[in-house]
Amino acid sequence: MADDQLPSPKVAVGVDGSATGRSALEWATAEAVRRGVPLYVVHALSMPLVMSVYTGPTRFPASEEIADQGRRILAEAAEHARSLRPEVDVQTVLALEEPPLALLHRTGPHDLVVVGTRGLGPVRSALAGSAGVRLASHAECPVVVVPAPEGETPPLRDFRRIVVGVDGSDDSRRALGFALHEAARNGAESVVVVNSWEVPMPFATESLVAAGWTPPDDLLDRRSEELVSGVLAEVM
């Protein structure tokens, strides 16, 4: 973890000035207050790396205009968060690196990362789509991707039903544990545990598939029930 990792626990949210980033900020603000932890608002300037034979790779410095724009985005985000929840403890971070790295380098296993589903422009869009997958793949903590708002509708935080996928792996056990914990803390009505099957070889041979053969549904159902029951018992 980078030396500039911020204190934990916290909720860290990436903002870029877009409507989607604003939705992520609103969701993260409510979650930080609910957890009773600080909200760290991160804006990444995405400055490129410059190679030097003397110093190695270094970040290209941001111009004053670019830095000022980033500070304005952070100031507006902090003001908006405090207008929604005056009691929230807001800290802002201006980073030179790409948005996923800016968040990964500043969070640890006891934190929560929140991002939007897409940004604006070729640079800001780094907080979008594939970046959410990238964060979820490499982050040491849970990652929340807040969907784009529909009109003026604010992002929902009501956990009426939580759906979690499990496959028997350690990662899926952690996902199930997180889902159950969040359901208990938020009073969710239900947790739906999903396990799916891809028919393994040698059952899925070309000749059998060509003949229209598939394993009996009840066999797959039994296997799924056994796997889910076993993982659930371990996590509980």
**Mean pLDDT of the chain, nearest integer:** 80
pLDDT top residue among 185 and 9: 9
More confident residue, 24 or 151: 24
Residue 123: predicted pLDDT: 41
Q: Which CATH architecture has domain 11-146?
A: 3-Layer(aba) Sandwich (3.40)
- For the chain, what is the HEC assignment? CCCCCCCCCCEEEECCCCHHHHHHHHHHHHHHHHHCCCEEEEEECCCCEECCCCCCCEECCCCHHHHHHHHHHHHHHHHHHHHHCCCCCEEEEEECCCHHHHHHCCCCCCCEEEEECCCCHHHHHHHCCHHHHHHHHHCCCCEEEECCCCCCCCCCCCCCEEEEECCCCHHHHHHHHHHHHHHHHHCCCEEEEECCCCCCCCCCCHHHHHCCCCCCHHHHHHHHHHHHHHHHHHHC
What is the phi/psi pair of residue 25, to 5°? -60, -45
Q: Could you give the angle at which helices 217-235 and 170-186 cross, rounded to 10 degrees?
A: 70
How does pLDDT run across 135-170, given as a tens digit for each residue?
878 888 999 888 876 665 555 666 788 899 988 888
| pLDDT for residue 99 is more than 60 | yes
The band of 127, judged by pLDDT with boundaries at 50, 70 and 90, is very low
Residues whose CB is less than 8 angstroms from the CB of residue 72 and which lie 6 or more positions away in sequence, other chains included: none
What is the rounded average pLDDT of the residues 96-123?
80
pLDDT for the residue numbered 60: 60
Residue partners of 172: CB distance under 8 A and separation at least 6: 164, 165, 166, 231
Say if residue 3's pLDDT is above 50.
no
b/e for 194-226, b at 16 or more Cβ within 10 A?
ebeeeeeeeeeeeeeeeeeeeeeeeeeeeebee
**70 or 208, which is more confident?**
70
Span(s) in the chain for CATH 3.40.50.620: 11-146
